[in-house]
């Protein structure tokens, strides 16, 4: 299956033929047992169904054990090579439904909220916000809201948007 796919890929077939003729210009490629290797790793053609089958075996099977991206990448890269291997493995593992359901998120939860200090005098600490998307009123479409945090006194300032 891999041998046929390599011969169907024009670029890989050319590299394979150059290796067989001894005129290879692509470094680190060689042919062993009639198969194309790169740095002693079997070259896999860019065929989605072939890559899908390989990744299913190395990630989703009992052998793969639903390992993470790094471990799956190391396991696959020890024996195989294709140019977009890292991207394909990351995408495959990230989209694995079983991993999404069974594994916990590694994102650190947000810390505890801390209250703001109480201001000592009025107009010392202000909060401001804009209210946008309003229908025009006397050509004003935005309101600037200013609130004093100590007295809770509000100012509403119309602005032209």
pLDDT per residue as tens digits for the range 114-131? 998 999 999 999 999 999
Mean pLDDT, the chain, integer: 89
45, 39 Cβ separation under 8 angstroms:
no
b/e per residue, 126-155, with b = 16+ CB within 10 A? eeeeeeeeeeeeeeeeebeeebbbeeeeee
Radius of gyration of the chain (CA): 31
**Start-end of CATH 1.10.340.70 domains in the chain:** 2-102
Query: Looking at residue 7, what is its pLDDT?
Result: 67
Task: Name which of 1, 24, 41, 23 is nearest 32 in CA terms.
Answer: 41
Provide the CA 133 distance to its chain's centre, in angstroms: 34
Q: What is the pLDDT of residues 34-57, one digit of tens each?
A: 888 899 999 998 888 999 999 999
Quickly state the pLDDT bin for 90 (edges 50, 70, 90): very high
What is the CATH number assigned to the segment(s) 2-102? 1.10.340.70
Average pLDDT over residues 81-108: 87
Average pLDDT over residues 144-160: 96
Q: Indicate whether 8 pLDDT > 80.
A: no
Query: Looking at residue 63, what is its pLDDT?
Result: 81
Task: Provide the sign of the torsion angle of the four alpha carbons 46, 85, 80, 49, taken in this order.
Answer: negative
Q: Indicate whether 105 pLDDT > 80.
A: no
Task: Name which of 79, 91, 85 is nearest 37 in CA terms.
Answer: 79
Query: Looking at residue 123, what is its pLDDT?
Result: 93
What token pair was written down for 88?
């394909």
């Amino acid at each position: 299956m891999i041998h046929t796919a390599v011969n169907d890929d024009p670029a890989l077939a050319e590299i394979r033929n150059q290796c067989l003729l001894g005129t290879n210009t692509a470094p680190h490629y060689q042919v062993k047992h009639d198969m194309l290797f790169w740095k002693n790793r079997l070259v896999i053609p860019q065929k989605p169904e072939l890559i899908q089958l390989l990744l299913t075996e190395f990630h989703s099977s009992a052998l793969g054990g639903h390992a993470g991206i790094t471990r799956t990448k190391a396991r696959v890269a020890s024996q195989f090579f294709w140019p977009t291997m890292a991207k394909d493995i990351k995408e495959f593992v990230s989209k694995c439904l079983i991993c999404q359901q069974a594994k916990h998120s590694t994102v650190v939860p947000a810390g505890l909220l801390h209250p703001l200090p109480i201001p000592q005098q009025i107009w010392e600490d202000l909060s401001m916000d804009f209210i946008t998307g309003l229908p025009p009123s006397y050509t004003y479409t935005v309101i600037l809201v200013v609130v004093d945090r100590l007295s809770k006194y509000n100012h509403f300032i119309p602005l032209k948007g």
